[in-house]
Amino acid sequence: MANQVLEPQLPRVSASPHGSRGETCRMFENEILEKFSRIHPSTPFLAWVPVTLFFLGRGWRRHDLGLLTLVGLFLCGMVAWTFSEYLLHRYVFHWTNGSSWGKRIHFLLHGVHHDYPSDKDRLVMPLLTSLPLSVIFYALFTFTLGRSIGEAAFAGFIVGYLFYDGTHYYVHHFIPTTRWGKFLRRHHLTHHHADHDGGFGVSSPLWDLVLQTMPSKKK
């Protein structure tokens, strides 16, 4: 079939700009699907920063929210993203079952990243995934909070997501020099290489601490 998902293959190895070796694999037989399964790390920022500015600007022009309220809702949206990031990573991206279709869905959603963690073209969320998720979360924010409050919080939610994508790319392809950067890199790579059942926060360990799922090197 034209859109058939391929089983994981042996990696096609290419040179990395940081001296290591990068891995990749072909996910789809269909050339269009294969192309859209890859994304440049700048694409989420080019796509979503204007959306964030649009919602913030519209919220300010309505004059029904004060500046401090707008900022507070924005920050609440960022915190809401960290919780959503944790839940998505733990219960959606790591969901699987023993069936062939379950394994295939897991590979498409997240397994490919664990199999090929150095694939620089698949370290941020492709637009084919982030666009439908954004529609769902926008509806959730605006239906439950109203348009004015919901859009202000949703703008912060988007920025939280961008922190997630940026952090994820950074810890896989750079060596941090700050204490916080080193901690985030160690936290995420421990999830990859030692404990798949812990360390579901990428941009923040907050919910791993709260829900007691900090990754352990001993595993």
What DSSP string runs through 43-80?
A: HHHHHHHHHHHHHHHHHHHHTSS-HHHHHHHHHHHHHH
- pTM recorded for the entire structure: 0.84
Query: What is the C-alpha to C-alpha distance for residues 6 and 23, in angstroms, rounded to an integer?
Result: 16
| Strand 14-15 with 21-22, pairing | antiparallel
At 16-30, the pLDDT tens digits run 333 333 478 888 888
How many other CB atoms are found less than 10 A from the CB of residue 45? 15
Tens of each residue's pLDDT in the chain, 219 residues: 444 444 444 333 333 333 333 478 888 888 888 888 889 999 999 999 999 999 999 989 988 889 999 999 999 999 999 999 999 999 999 888 878 888 888 887 888 888 888 888 888 999 988 999 999 999 999 999 999 999 999 999 999 999 999 999 999 989 999 999 999 999 999 999 898 899 999 999 999 999 999 998 875
Q: Where are the domains of the chain?
A: 41-175
